[in-house]
Structure 1
């Protein structure tokens, strides 16, 4: 264990508390190569995504590697044995394979999907069929449709096509067209626009009432939303242009309204709501004619939960949450039998679980403490227990807990240290826990809901043995008092570390609001790259500064209206702290990041030019004026209201400070953080007569991965840049 004394450096106070063992000093292992990182050598074995079924069963989509046939197979939670094959594509006429499936409520029918085509970053359209299990009949629903969903009574399927909403009557095999005004880049019915999909995290914008008589859906009017265009290089003689509606900060959003289709009366009714900009959630309650609606104002600091009664055509606000900064949208709204509901909120300063009566009055706060609930898993109506994940044992760890609805009898169900993620059965009687730590490969274990360990399903022992053959260093976790705050940090030192030598340092971070990079979990791809750099004599360090998550509301929201100020100050202060360590070469400290992290690394080398000698920015935001309304205005309000907040911390406005080596990388097909960000940065650097390095990946999106050897090429380029500019000659 490592403990550093209290230091006063340049007026900043630092204290460090060690949390793990020091680095491994073995030098007898193999060296990691980039080819191994990107060819899957270190990829752990994963469980296929499972779909929990009624009773104590789940289903899995399996692919026969020999024939390519796909099947949906049913398994027992308790025995983990296959019970039956529900459907196999080899038995289907006209459908050789499928890549998605979903059940109706009583699990007598399946929706099978194939031939998917991308719409936006997270949405697809495809060809879908209904398969009736008892008769083994297959019926086409439609081609190039989106989000098909069974009605609760299984007699209908709703779906979107060509920006309109449809319903297929399965009894009469008739198609009902709900809307007719859908038009690309103009009107969208039943699915979301680009910015809702990206920032509110959903695509299907319709929901069935519990009695299947109503279909509530959102209508987006994008007519006045500015259009963004991207040139697609492709393989043709002439490039093409991709155009889509993208509302940038301060610009017009789509006008969103909520409609209700009544199947009995065959009409559409608009639900009138007041004082909102966004409708990020709709969900029917357990009362068949009562719809819950979540709205937000444009600043996203005033959230209202409405109950709308379709029979009386009346609405009322049952919950209203406000915050000086913003209110997060969550998916944890759960209705109980009496239509009381469970809700999560950080209104007491930390994210916790609450139980409300059906009129919106508070019944009780279920969880309490100076720690965050990080996942809500559900409610078991039989045992009256709530299941959740939290950071009660330190913000870098995750544990799964049960607690009574009244807040009593809290129980930790999984290991105390490391990170556990639960996937519960539909009846909340079992869960499969995915567990890992910095020293433990991912394992998948079946538990009963009372925390009894039943069976290890995947142990990844082969990977655990494999990595021991490599010359890897242990992560050292610690906290440091930086700018008056206890910040989480980790460090990787070279395996043959000599405290009497001086080493260059590469810092990595993301730093976006509510994010986390310092976590007690198993290696990801970047971790192996960092290990490879450590093998070449570079110390790698990560610091989660102010604005990151899981340490309470105030710590996360301190960056409000000033993105890139406090986060950058913390990275610079942390670099100065590292520079004072006797084993660090203070003249060779670099930083890198991707997306928000690229915004951060750019600002860091500019504002911290006395401590950072190099930086890499991949797909960086260079001005929040270029990014979308929902994300940006949540933290910054609009550019019209907060111009200094946008401009004071834009890297574009600090290019004259560049002294070190700077590498800019971007994909020209990035529809999220547009390459415009990098091009405007380039123009500013040229105008300031600053030298830098630039690499553009044609047509690659924000992740820069599509195409042969793309990731290998990218990390080879970054490795060469790091070694050339940090490694001691």
Structure 2
């Protein structure tokens, strides 16, 4: 009997092991097809002004449906292509609802311009008449439809000029007439503002709908960049030209203007601004005659906010924040106004924390404090004076959703460890919580704010969890690595499913490493690393100095020498890993990255003295002289001011020291990191007699996507790693 039981247990163990062994491993095609990516339902909910209802598009893009927060019950359908009068299209891509609910702008046939911007055909749906027609008489594509607070008008940008649609009279008014491609932009932003301040809308309505304020960009003196476009149906290439300021070059000259709806006059607002300064944001407060104009000096070390009167033009300094290095523009973009003042995040005590101000600019209280960073300011519930935010309060690897009440009591609204984010209703009565961890795909749940009670699950990604359960892979492991000079860095590791500690494994280090970025986070990511593990390659990610959520000093210690410490930390981490883990083969280590990660790959292979046998650099900056003003000068100042720093951190200047087998990859139509950077680096290697591999993608931008491109890209990189490690 005892013998039979032992035999049975042995058979069960062998059967289980066989079942695990027979599970398929992750594969590149499924990864690049998005089969390992969680869906994001819950992020598309839009709160209506009453805070008790929200809207969402149906799955087919044919209707806008209104729901009740508490129950999830469908209340009604606000717009439907099948029932709208004179609607000649079946679906649409996006929408905006007027504050009074009388008009809905829907759009379709969108064209992507750059990272955040797009133009599209827009239509006005008159809710009361159930009638839809083109928003503008010409039918040309527009940008940035912006409703007036009273809902009776909508401003938009077309061909670099601002127009206003007046619904009551069914008329259009042209506000500006000097807009011209690569010269003058009204109401939207130039390329570098869009990319580095993440802003496209530069127009705002006064609370009483009497004024429309906007920023005018004069980019006439900004150097022009020309990209060759090869196309598909021509034997000759064309050229795309746009304004792109490299470090030290001229930026657009910016000015603020206020258009009076009644008189149709436009006044220039004399905002105090250096000739080479920036205006990253303008916003009317809740007070009709208060236009908040936010400015940076060129170094982005001095932030000033003025309240300007749109009628008189008088400006008054309300807030000033100065830093010895630089100020994160995220805190300017997310500064929140309310009836009793505003909220702003500053790093004045060494960590990113929230401060509350009166309308006069007088500080009322420091809302958050501690040796941790606020990572996102959500807003203020004015009824209770409660502030909501996201923070790395538990660990730099995690994110919590928190609130601080009027008495200063802090409460964590997210109970599960990992990465949490939230979107609140207009009245802060409800919130959608999105949670994920290294082992849990995104779960979106709807909660009542006061009690914290979970009302229902919006998305659990059950299908993805089931798909992953059928695969053979090892879970991501988090740990710390201490470099030879005593710096402790956060890291994660992905091992093969059949890992054997007695074997020696090759290692690919993956990283981004850019300022205030984080790659080592307890969040769900599944893809190439798991595919490589199926081929016996361990992947390790280490966040070096300069990365986020560890206080101001840790993220800003790279100032004026961006790339120096970042690359040294990857080299030091690689050496420490080989000592810390006996199963790591120090002779078979590789490093790769994209964009800044590609740059840091080149730097690490140049200062590593043979640490890395293989490297892959995708779309890499190769010398900071080539990159744009706003980003580079924030961390490096201008080449004239910091010649030594630019020379110290240039892969081109360090190319002679490059060791290891290198694969360079770039898209020829990259508007961000120009293909020219890779070409100049490649030429440097050629003249030095250094062999390398190169992969070019025709007419692809910084993201290198489209058709079969992603599968080809990751197959190319996988083959290169396996062949050379």
Distance 1:634 1:274 in 2: 21
Q: Distance in 1 between matches of 2:25 and 2:217?
A: 53
Q: Deviations over 1:555-610 (max 9, x none)?
A: 11111111110001100000001122321111100000000000001111121032
Question: Is the deviation greater in 687-696 or in 411-420?
Answer: 411-420
1:51 corresponds, among 27, 37, 46, to 46
CA contact (8 A) 1:663 1:693 kept: yes
Q: Which residue of 1 aligns with 2:442?
A: 442
- Distance in 1 (CA, whole Å) between partners of 2:215 and 2:338 is 25
CA distance in 2, matches of 1:532, 1:107: 49
Counterparts of 1:220 and 1:373, CA distance in 2 = 33
Equivalent residues in 2 for 1:60-209 (5 A)? Answer: 60-64=56-60, 70-92=62-84, 93-96=86-89, 97-142=91-136, 143-209=140-206
Give the corresponding residue for 1:7: none
CA distance in structure 1 between the aligned counterparts of 2:401 and 2:285, rounded to whole angstroms: 27
SS at match of 2:529: helix
Cα deviation, residue 328, structure 1? 1.4
User: How far apart are residue 392 of structure 1 and its match?
Assistant: 0.8
Partners of 2:358 and 2:35 lie apart in 1 by 52
Pairing 1:489-504 to 2, within 5 Å after superposition: 489-504=491-506
Partners of 2:249 and 2:30 lie apart in 1 by 45
SS of 1:568's equivalent in the other structure is helix
| 1:270 corresponds to | 268
State the secondary structure of the residue aligned to 2:653.
helix
Displacement after TM superposition at 1:181 (Å):
0.9
The 2-side partners of 1:718 and 1:213 are apart by 57
Alpha-carbon offset, residue 72 of structure 1: 0.4
Aligned to 1:586: 586
Q: Which residue of 1 aligns with 2:306?
A: 306
> 470-479 or 539-548, which moves further after superposition?
470-479
Question: 1:113 aligns to what SS in structure 2?
Answer: strand
Contact 1:609 1:660 in 2 (8 A): no
User: Aligned to 1:711, what secondary structure does the other structure show?
Assistant: helix
* Matched position secondary structure for 1:90: coil
Residues 616-666 of structure 1: CA distance to partner in whole angstroms, max 9, x if unpaired? Answer: 000000011111110011001011111121122111112212231100000
Q: TM-score w.r.t. structure 2 length?
A: 0.93
Q: Distance in 2 between matches of 1:139 and 1:494?
A: 57
Contact in 1 for aligned 2:247/2:627 (Cα 8 Å): yes
- Higher RCO structure, 1 or 2 (CA under 8 Å, sep 6+): 1
Residue equivalent to 2:430: 430
**Matched residue count:** 692
Which of 472, 487, 490 in structure 2 is aligned with 1:488?
A: 490
Q: Any idea what the Cα deviations from partners look like across 1:287-330, whole Å, max 9, x if unmatched?
A: 10111111001011011011112344321111111111111122
Conserved? CA contact 2:203–2:214, under 8 Å: yes
The CA deviation at 1:676 is 0.6
CA contact (8 A) 2:482 2:576 kept: no
CA contact (8 A) 2:205 2:213 kept: yes
1:685 Cα deviation (Å)?
A: 0.2
Equivalent in the alignment of 1:256: 254
Partner secondary structure for residue 473 of structure 1:
coil
2:247/2:625 contact within 8 Å kept: yes
Q: Note if contact 1:378-1:428 (Cα within 8 Å) is conserved in structure 2.
A: no
Q: Tell me which residue corresponds to 1:710.
A: 709
Deviation at 1:175, TM superposition (A): 1.5
Structure 1 equivalent of residue 8 of structure 2? none
User: In structure 1, how many angstroms separate the alpha carbons of the residues matched to 2:661 and 2:95?
Assistant: 50
Equivalent in the alignment of 2:644: 644
The normalised TM-score by structure 1 is 0.93
Q: Tell me the equivalent position of 2:544.
A: 545
Q: What is the Cα deviation at residue 455 of structure 1?
A: 1.4
Distance 1:219 1:312, change over 3 A: closer
- Alpha-carbon contact 1:29-1:468 (below 8 Å) kept: no
CA contact (8 A) 2:562 2:635 kept: yes
SS of the residue aligned with 2:394? coil
In structure 2, how many angstroms separate the alpha carbons of the residues matched to 1:724 and 1:155? 64
Q: Structure 1 residue 416: deviation in Å?
A: 4.4
1:379 CA drift (Å)? 1.3
Task: Please name the residue that 2:718 is paired with.
Answer: 719
Q: Which residue of 1 aligns with 2:522?
A: 520
Pick closer, same or farther for the CA change 1:312–1:231 going to 2, 3 Å: closer
Partners of 1:139 and 1:655 lie apart in 2 by 59
Cα pair distance change 1:384/1:698, threshold 3 Å: same
Q: CA-to-partner distance for each residue in 1:340-374, whole Å, 9 max, x for gaps?
A: 21111111111111111111111100010111111
* Corresponding residue of 2:244: 246
Question: Which residue of 12, 24, 33 corresponds with 1:39?
Answer: 33
Q: Distance in 2 between matches of 1:365 and 1:544?
A: 30
**Cα distance in 2, alignment partners of residues 336 and 115 from structure 1:** 36
Correspondence for 2:513 among 490, 508, 511: 511
Q: Secondary structure at the match of 1:91?
A: coil
Answer yes or no: is 1:214 the counterpart of 2:211.
yes
2:267–2:310 Cα contact (<8 Å) kept: no
Aligned to 1:529: 528
Q: Please state whether the residue corresponding to 2:568 is helix, strand or coil.
A: helix
CA distance in 1, matches of 2:327, 2:608: 32
Cα distance in 2 for residues equivalent to 1:403 and 1:659: 52
